A and B are shown apart, each in its own frame.
Chain A
Amino acid sequence: SQELEQSPQSLIVQEGKNLTINCTSSKTLYGLYWYKQKYGEGLIFLMMLQKGGEEKSHEKITAKLDEKKQQSSLHITASQPSHAGIYLCGADLMKTSYDKVIFGPGTSLSVIP
């Protein structure tokens, strides 16, 4: 099984609706990153979370880290077509030094105008 799982796998929402994407780790999280990918393009860094309970917002996107649950959620408020793409979470599973970032399988988001 994967070390990082994301749910849902895909999501189709009406423009203006709110949505949440979850990222769950099977191991302790020492850093959690959220990225967005548009088809055929490189990853766009959204946010990094490092402390349990930490919450960050950027425009209409909010991410939280629940360290105890080894889980992070990404919430988009009043979705727009520009939010469409694949959302990837990446995790740092090493405490003392950095190692490769483990990525989740991604969540594909479509926003219908």
Chain B
Amino acid sequence: GAVVSQHPSWVICKSGTSVKIECRSLDFQATTMFWYRQFPKQSLMLMATSNEGSKATYEQGVEKDKFLINHASLTLSTLTVTSAHPEDSSFYICSASGFGDTQYFGPGTRLTVL
């Protein structure tokens, strides 16, 4: 099946710094990528949907200036958490799909902000 990777898998950073998370589709072209966030023992919550070459669509309540999403190519999307704070500590998962195809999930990135 299709493979989606994320990097890094785990990151610890100081409060106030920015962190970039990469999501790559390794063996297929992803026209759409989704970014999710999961708090401990809670459900995944969709943050934004990004289509290659266009601006991401953010879900209600998600700050677009804080969570910058770039989908520059058909195989790469990045999520940058700007000026991270401890409350941003969470698990971030991306998924990717081709043309209206199944979503394939990445392994996730655990962010801890000190």
Contacts and interface: CB of A to CB of B under 8 A. Distances in A.
A35 B44 contact: yes
Interface residues of B, number: 23
Contacts, number: 46
Interface in B61-98: 91, 93, 95, 97
> What bracket does the count of chain A residues touching chain B fall in?
20 to 34
Interface in B91-114: 91, 93, 95, 97, 100, 102-103, 105, 107-108
Given A43-B36, A100-B91, A90 B44 contact: yes
Interface of B: 32, 34, 36, 38, 40-46, 49, 59, 91, 93, 95, 97, 100, 102-103, 105, 107-108
Interface of A: 31, 33, 35, 37, 39-45, 48, 50, 86, 90, 92, 97-98, 100-101, 103, 106
